[in-house]
Amino acid sequence: MKNITVAGEVLFDCYPSYKKLGGAPFNFAYHINKLVGKVNLISAVGNDDEGIEIINFMKQSGMDTNNIQINNYSTGLVNVNLNDEKIPSFEILENSAYDFIEFDAIKNSNDNELFYFGTLAQRNRTSRETIQRLLQNQSKVFYDVNLRQNYFNKEILLYSLNNAGIVKMNNEELEIILNLFQIEKSNLFEQKALKVKNHFGIDILIITLGKDGSILFGDKISYQNKKVNSVTDTVGAGDAYSAMFVAAMLKNKNLDLCNKFGVEFAADICQVEGAVPSDDKIYTTYLEKLNE
């Protein structure tokens, strides 16, 4: 299999009493490395203790660090607070290392099976131009919208949505995009999603619905849900969905099964602390399903 290339932020999610490695692209890449292998993460860390910790963790996890650039900015940090329902709110620090990913420093980013990117790392011109140059000539592109605070604008979203075949967003992000691009509203949720899908020429549009699962719009519509009895936190649940969906898709599973596996894996991640599980046992069952 060719590479799966991922571009964007790697950072630490800092909770009141502990910190966990995170950033949607990193979370996605970590899961993909466990499920599929051959992941090429393009990001940047600072020349600081956190940056060293990230690179060491990636090496210990068997991840390729060739495209983790080291620069003179601080490694990305996000302050995370969980409400009573374990839903996170984020305070994202600016001018972080991942805002300054240099295109000319990238090694071996061509010949990809799939290219994944998001929105946050495009907030700064340097990383934005790098990601948008990488987007050119990609055969299969997955865009995880993942809007955070005010770190997006119409131009970034327009370029991103126009250059992705597979797009994932949540219900709130769907409403933001409908308003921002003045797309004709509808009282019916499915009609709203289809209007966005058609407006940008998206092949597969995935809307995640939190505890209500997700709905996928491709050639057909697929709805999947799984009840979670005990939520530890929901950080990284969407990234887990994305990774499992892609892993299943690359194994040529049908879209309904890709959606089902994604929802089930996201539900399992909600039962561990942070976005990245400390125990690989969580992957065993899914590897068996993927290889059936």
- What residue segments make up the domains of the chain, in order of their start? 3-290
Is residue 259 within a helix (H) or strand (E), and if so which, with residue range?
A: helix 255-269
Q: In what order do the strands lie in the sheet with 11-14?
A: 19-22, 11-14, 76-82, 88-92
Report field, pTM of the whole predicted structure over 0.85:
yes
CB 54 within 8 A of CB 21: yes
Give the type of residue at 150.
Answer: N
Query: What whole-number distance in Å separates Cα of residue 106 and Cα of residue 117?
Result: 15
Buried/exposed 139-152: b ≥16 CB within 10 Å, e otherwise: ebbbbbbbbbeebb
Query: What whole-number distance in Å separates Cα of residue 172 and Cα of residue 266?
Result: 18
Residues near 110 by Cβ (< 8 Å), separated by ≥ 6? none
* Residue pLDDT tens, the chain, 292 long: 568 999 999 999 888 888 888 899 999 999 999 999 889 999 999 999 999 999 999 999 999 999 999 999 999 999 888 787 777 777 899 999 999 999 999 987 677 899 999 999 999 999 999 999 999 889 899 999 999 989 999 999 999 999 999 999 999 999 999 999 999 878 888 999 999 999 999 999 999 988 888 999 999 999 998 876 666 656 678 899 999 999 999 999 999 999 999 999 988 887 666 567 667 788 888 898 888 8
Residue 132 gets which letter from DSSP? Answer: H
DSSP codes of every residue in 159-176? HHHHT-SEEEEEHHHHHH
Q: What is the pLDDT of residues 185-218, one digit of tens each?
A: 788 889 999 999 999 999 999 999 888 889 999 9
CB 44 within 8 A of CB 8: no
Give the model's pLDDT for residue 232: 64
Give the model's pLDDT for residue 252: 93
**CATH architecture of structural domain 3-290:** 3-Layer(aba) Sandwich (3.40)
- What does each C-alpha distance from 96 to 64, 99, 177, 241 come to in angstroms? 21, 5, 26, 26
